Amino acid sequence: MLGLLLLWFSLSVACVLFVGVSVKVFFKYLFFIKIPADISHPKKLLLYYSMFELVATWGIILEKMKICSMAKFVRFVHDLFPLRKDPDVVVTDLCFGTVPVKLYQPRSSCSTLRPGILFYHGGGALLGSLKTHHSICLILCKESDSVVLSVGYRKMPEYKYPVMYIDCMAATVHFLKSLSTFGVDPARVVVCGDSMGGAAGVVMCQQLLKSPHLPKIRAQMVIYAGLHALDFRSPAYQQNKNQLGCRDFSMYCVMMYLNIDPSWKKDMITGANLPPEIREKYRKWLGHENIPERFKQRGYRPKPVAPLNDLAYQETRLVLEPTVCPLVAEDEVMSQMPEALIVGCEYDDFRDHSLLYKKRLEDLGVPVTWLYVEDGFHGALGMIDTTFFNFPCSRKIMNAMVDFIKRL
Strand order in the sheet with 147-151: 89-96, 99-106, 147-151, 114-120, 184-194, 219-223, 339-347, 368-377
**399 phi, psi to nearest 5 deg:** -60, -40
Burial class (CB in 10 A: 0-12, 13-18, 19+), 133: buried
Of 194, 348, 349, 352, which one is the catalytic site residue?
A: 348
Q: Rounded to an integer, what distance in angstroms lies between the CA atom of residue 298 and that of residue 91?
A: 44
Of 144, 195, 250, 354, which one is the catalytic site residue?
A: 195
Q: Is 193:132 a contact under the CB 8 Å cutoff?
A: no
137: left (phi over 0), alpha (psi -120 to 50) or beta: alpha
User: Checking DSSP bridges between strand 147-151 and strand 89-96, what pairing results, if any?
Assistant: unpaired
Q: Which of 118, 110, 171 is nearest to 145 (CA)?
A: 110
**Catalytic annotation present for 250:** no
Strand partners, 96: 99
Q: Rounded to an integer, what distance in angstroms lies between the CA atom of residue 138 and that of residue 132?
A: 12
Of 121, 231, 378, 394, which one is the catalytic site residue?
A: 378
**Catalytic annotation present for 195:** yes
Q: Is 58:73 a contact under the CB 8 Å cutoff?
A: yes
Strand partners, 191: 118, 220
Q: Rounded to an integer, what distance in angstroms lies between the CA atom of residue 8 and that of residue 271?
A: 53
List residues with catalytic annotation: 195, 348, 378
